[in-house]
Amino acid sequence: MTPAPTHGPQHLTLALPKGRILEEAVALLARAGLPLTVPEKSRALRHEFPGVTVLELRNQDVPVYVDLGVADAGIVGKDVLLESGRAVYEPVDLRFAGCRLSLIREVGASGDISRVGTKYPRAARAYLNARGIPAEIVKLSGNIELACLTGLADAVVDLVQTGSTLRANHLEEVDVLFHSSARLIVNRAALKVRRERLRPLIEALRGLTQDVEGGE
Ligand SMILES: Nc1ncnc2c1ncn2[C@@H]1O[C@H](COP(=O)(O)OP(=O)(O)OP(=O)(O)O)[C@@H](O)[C@H]1O
Ligand SMILES: O=P(O)(O)OC[C@H]1O[C@H](OP(=O)(O)OP(=O)(O)O)[C@H](O)[C@@H]1O
């Protein structure tokens, strides 16, 4: 096993998710003063820039790497962060990748909900428990809406943004569990050790993303 490189307090290790968040995250971090570019299409998973290492991860692994301190900070959707259950410091709402986690059914469906398909079992369980709905939850990995269409489940809990996936599949949004956007997350110990790097980054990202008048 290659040992993890040990870096001094002036070096930052960032956890970024491959997929739709990566490009905008890198662009925002570059505007905030970090010398990053979108990692080239290669099989390399760890990318080195002056003073910064980028770890390219699956979304759901970003909170784990930050919470366990392998990464000092990361960017991830609020949906994935909540589902992870990791109590990391979340100092900035980056206000992109906006979407909502919703309960979805076939248009006009009115029967009991006894089985729910989702990539978000923790959020779905909390929602159903709060309403006293004793439904079974089936954990799925993608194209969640298909569970409704095929009868695998009589409802799904999944992300909605434009609503075009719903319209294309004769589905409707019955309820919204919560709204999500990309967040900066930070390891609490790193915030002390790498304060000189992390504090200016947090402030720069706040300056770039928060309304001048409204604050956070
Ligand atoms: N249609 C959408 N519009 C806007 N934001 C979205 C949309 N779908 C997902 N997101 C946000 O972007 C994040 C990353 O989505 P992406 O599609 O890249 O992940 P994925 O490929 O489903 O995840 P995985 O890492 O499991 O492969 C989600 O966690 C959510 O916060
Ligand atoms: O309301 P819309 O604008 O249609 O966006 C919502 C869709 O986007 C996401 O899927 P994605 O394309 O990431 O595929 P996935 O289901 O494989 O994750 C999400 O899971 C919905 O299916």
With 80 as the cut, is the pLDDT of residue 216 above it?
no
pTM assigned to the model: 0.94
Protein residues with CB under 6 Å of any ligand 1 atom: 17, 19-21, 58-60, 77, 79-80, 97, 99, 159, 161, 180
Q: Is the ipTM of this complex over 0.90?
A: yes
Q: Is the CB of 10 under 6 A from ligand 2?
A: no
Ligand nearest to the CA of 95: 1
Q: Is the CB of 19 under 6 A from ligand 2?
A: no
Domain span(s) for CATH 3.40.190.10 in the chain: 12-97+181-209, 100-177
State residue 215's pLDDT score: 45
Asked if 173 contacts 104 with a C-beta cutoff of 8 angstroms, the reply is yes
How far is Cα of residue 88 from the mean position of the Cα atoms in its chain? 13
Probe target for ligand 2 pocket from 159, 176, 177, with the most ligand atoms within 8 Å of CB: 159
CATH class of 100-177: alpha beta
pLDDT digits (tens, 9 = 90+) for 25-72: 999 999 999 999 988 888 889 999 999 999 999 999 999 999 999 999
Question: What's the gap in Å between 21 CA and the centre of ligand 1?
Answer: 7
Asked if 12 contacts 72 with a C-beta cutoff of 8 angstroms, the reply is yes
Q: Which atom of ligand 2 is nearest to the CA of 168?
A: 4
CATH 3.40.190.10 correct for 12-97+181-209: yes
The CA distances from residue 191 to 28, 48, 104, 120, 177, in Å, are 20, 21, 39, 29, 31
DSSP 48-107: EETTEEEEEE-GGGHHHHHHTTSSSEEEEEHHHHHHHT---EEEEE---S-EEEEEEEET
